[in-house]
Each structure stands twice: as C-alpha cells, then as structure tokens.
Structure 1
Amino acid sequence: MKFVDYVTITVRSGKGGAGAVAFRREKYVPKGGPAGGDGGDGGSVYLEGDPNLYTLLDLRYNRHHFAEDGQPGSGKNKKGRDGRDVIIRVPLGTVAKITETGEVIGEVLRPGQRLLLAKGGRGGRGNAFFKSPTNQAPRYAQPGEPGEEKNITLELKLLADVGLVGFPNAGKSTLIASISAARPKIADYPFTTLEPALGMVYVGEFRSFVMADLPGIIEGAHEGRGLGIRFLKHIERNAILLFVIPIVEAEPGRVYRTLLGELEAFNPALLEKPRAVALSKLDLVPEDEREDRVAAVKAELPDDLPIYPISAVARIGLETLKEGLWRQLQELRAAAEATT
C-alpha cells in the first residue's frame, strides 16, 4: 500500500431544514392553532481516529465529503429528519488545518476520537414555536441555517514509541526488519527506504512497543535536500529517538552532531526528546577488536547517552537493545503520569 501523508479535501456540512407554517385542521376543533414542526439539523463532517490505518491514501482519490441536508418540518408538529453525518476515518496522528489560512483545527491522537470539521446548520423553528398569548396564530417560521464548506489539509505525523534516525545505509531498515514483522526494502545503496515503515517490537511475551523506520537524513535535510524534509515531521511524534550509527564510521561523534543539527534546524523542540544510540554493523568489526572499538566510539558521544552495540544481521545485542528501550519508555510513561 502506498504511503500518503499529505492531502487536501473539501468538506461541506448540510444546511438545516426550514420550519413549517401549518395549523390544526380537525373536526370539532375550531381554531386549532399553529402546528408547524421544526426543521431537522444538517449533518456535520467529522474525522475519526482508526488505529488500523496508517496512510491517507484513500482520501487522495476521494476528496469531496458532503453531509446530508436536514429535512423541513411539516404539519401536526412533525419535526424534519436530521441530516446524516459524514465520518472520515483517518490514521492516528492526523492534523487538520484550514487550507487557506493554515489555522490548525485539531489533531486525532486516540482510537475513536472525533474531530469536528464542519458543523451542520441548525433547523429552523416552525410556527408552533412562536405561539404566545398575544400571537396565537403566527404565520411565519424560520428558514434553516446554511452549512459550512471548507478546504481542509490533512497532514499525517506518525505516532510511534521509538523513531529511527540516521544517515542513509546506516542499517535502520535491517534493524526494524530483524526485531519486528515490518518488511521495508533493504539494499546496498542510499535512500532504499522511500516511505516510513511501522513495526511492532515484542519484548518477552507480553510487552511491546511501536518502532518507526524513517527515510535517511542527509546534511541539509531541513533545507529540502534528500528526502529528509518530507519525513522529518514524523519524528515529532516519536517518544524516543534512536540514532542508528554504524560502528565502522570514521567519525561517529560528527555523525551524531550532524543529525542533531538537522533535527534542531527543523524543530528545536526535537532536542528535548529522550535519545539513545544503536551502534550498528558490529559484525563488520573483528571479535577481538570490538570491545576497544565500542569504547572509542563511546568516548566521542555524550556520557549520559544509552549506547547499544548491535548487529541486526548477526542478531547481536538485539535483546539488550529492546530491553533498554522498553525501560526507557516505562520511565517516560511514569514521569508523564506523575505530572498529570
């Protein structure tokens, strides 16, 4: 399935039905009085979070979403039927904006959460509503209120517990394929990954978290170079950033600082997210040299950074990595609960 994370749609809510002007016409009931019913309300347009979706592909080919109009009222105080709502199912992490102004309407973060895009018009009051001691036979009713029509831009920012950050060919896709059921394209050339991939990582039998493999970042990505500018926004929704740096890099410290610089240039708030480092491709270092190489790389990186030497191909250090990330996530959740 093609990954689509940006689409513009047109939504229109239904207009309210008109109120009725009617009077009772019954045998033996002279001057029965007003009996015009209210019009029905117009249908509204909502977004609804669906955890089974991960792309906006369907909306690319279905861009118009119009709710039903409310029906007019009728005699005998009969209210018109309300118009049916339109529910647009979207992946979790979808942000809705007014296209022309860029104003954010809201975002869908939870399964079943609904976000109102266009409210239906209210139905008009029938003449029975306006009856009073001084106006016992009103001959007027309200028209229904009009609906709303808007152009809405939907932008998907993937929700994941752990997001993989690294240069092309750092081993991100191999890692997520080794520890989850995700099957991203893997090949020995840059930018093999052209779209994000999500994978469920299981830690033991009953624990799990979601990992996101994002296309590689290159220097200058925040200025539009490579594919990074298109996918950097997905990093905003990841709880932990896992930097994947090959242990055979000549200057791993410089790689780490370059990646941090790109994130900061795109959104400085990204530097506040918890981080960890996976030193990938450990199998390329001879066994008798691994300990010294790991120590040398750690010396170039911040002391407080969790660092995990791994080989996704040889399946070295993967369990330690999963356990460490799980503990880090649990600490984050505990801290979040303590502040609420």
Structure 2
Amino acid sequence: MPIALPKELTSGQQEPLPELLQPYEKFPTKISGPTVWRAEDFRSRPDLWQRQWTPELIQQLEEAFDKFEVTGKTLPDNNKDTFPLPADIVDFLSSIREDVVNGQGFILIEGLPVTEWTWETTPLKSTKFGSIPDVVGLLCLHKAMEGGESDVVSAHNLWNTLQAERPDVAELLTKPDWYFDRKGEVSDGQKPWVQKAVFYFHDGRVISHFDPYFVKSIGRHVEAGLIPGHSEEQLEAIAVLEQTAQRLALHMILKVGDIQFVADAHVLHARTAYRDHLPPAPRRHLLRLWLATPESQGGWKRPFPDSANEKRGGIQVNDQAETCPLDAE
C-alpha cells in the first residue's frame, strides 16, 4: 500500500491499481485526434508549436516578480496566490494549455531575456506555469558547445505505428511487469523499484509512461538477486520502441531563453548527446520543472492511486520538504 502523505506533498512514484488495468485486447487498434501528429507536418508549420513572449508580457512578468520579491518568499513558496499574474499573461498561458493538455502535447516558447536577469531570480520569473498539467518544462540558460538538442514524438502516433508494424511489441508494452528503478528515491516501507506498464488504456485514453534510464538502471537489483530483470522479448521491445520513436520524432533546438513544455502522458521526449564547453566558459545549463495538473484541474485520469491528488507523481521521500535546487545535485 502507498504511504499516506500530507496533502501538500507529492505522492512519488506509484504502481498502478490492478483493478484499473485494461488488457491489450481492450486497447484501440488506432488512435485518432489532435494528440496524433506526424513530425513532417509540424516541421513545415512552426506556428503550430512555437510561441513568443512579447515585450509587454515580459514587462508584466518582471513587475509581478518585483512584487513577489519584496515579500521575502522563496522559490518553493511560488504559487498562484503568492505570485499572482496579470490577466494578459494568464490569457497567454491559457492559450497554450489546451495544446499541451489535450492537443499535440508540447510547445516551445521563445524569448525570455534570461541573459538580462540574475541567475538566482530567473527561475522565479520563468516557472509561473502551474496551470499546465503533468508536464516537463525545460528552460535553456546556456547551450552546450554542440548537441544536447531535443526530440519529441507523439506517443499516440508511436502506438499506431507499433500496432501496424509490431503488434507483439505493443502488447508487451501494455503488461504491468516492467521494472522501473526508483534510483534511491525510496520512502520507508517502499521497494527500491516499481512495476508498471509502458502503455495504459484508462478513461478512454491511451497513456504512456516510459523513461529508458529508469528501466535500464535496474541492473544492480538484478545482480543482488532481488528481481529477475527483463526478458529477451522485453529487451527487444525496448529497442523497437526507441528506434520507432526516433524515426517518428520532431527535432528542435532550444536557444537561450527558450522554454519547452512536454506532456508526459502522450508525448515521449529525449535529448541528443552533447559536448560541453571547457572552463571557464559557461557549461550547458537547463532548468527543469515538473508540473502536475490533477483531475480537478482538467488533468487526465490515470490508473494510479494518486490520480486525484493535488500533487501527483514527481519525487517524494517520506515527508521531506520541497526543495528547488538551481543546479545539479
């Protein structure tokens, strides 16, 4: 049973509820709608997935930050009540919300003047997007010397392709017997891993949950004799999944000041290998933000025990207070 945590804390990684799992036969053979997109269509239509901050919006954002700064609050205190946004910015973000939640599932917003802001205040000025759902946000502060670029793919287009080309792989990915490493982020009474599926069919939607690093890093648990590891068929399925995703992906380059938002439930994302600058030049630096939109805010229902929580998923170890490191730990 999951550990009961206070409402203000995140729930951490969860295993699905068995009674909510649907067998492969219940999944749609083909998904349609705005969540299914092809990279070749989006390459020729950047207006579908790129937005820009206007000078007026940036000025309003800076003024909102100035009001927040005098309160003495810090980044973990940053929310819609402590850092209210002007109506124009709310409208701008609301126009993006539908694309991210129920549309293509990703967006690129260009033009934050991060080179003009101090390093410590940039996150406060740039992370005011709490109305967007279970989403990964990346803000580029410094680029690598080469590489480190971004690929995104529609998980629903990927599903359709697997169903057409490798239905055996699609079926394997719907079984909740994949091991995901908790990477040491373990609360009292929890196992150091969880078992989940990669694709779920719940509340009429196909939902994806996959991170190759969390799947491939279970080796130490296998070597310790704690789990059997993945079968040869599963290892092949991972390879097919990644190769197919790469073939279907849209490639983009984040410039300094660009923000990328990606919906984890129906978009897979990756970065290319990179080579960094040598000191004293600034190294590659992206700020990452994990956002949750619960069911009460229009988020997709999920077959997990924390689906209706205000804060779901993420990382939570026991009752540790939230922290917001501005650099890698």
User: Do Structure 1 and Structure 2 share a fold, with TM-score over 0.5?
Assistant: no
Greater per-residue strand proportion:
1
TM-score by length of 1: 0.22
The structure having more radius of gyration, on CA atoms, is 1
Greater per-residue helix proportion:
2
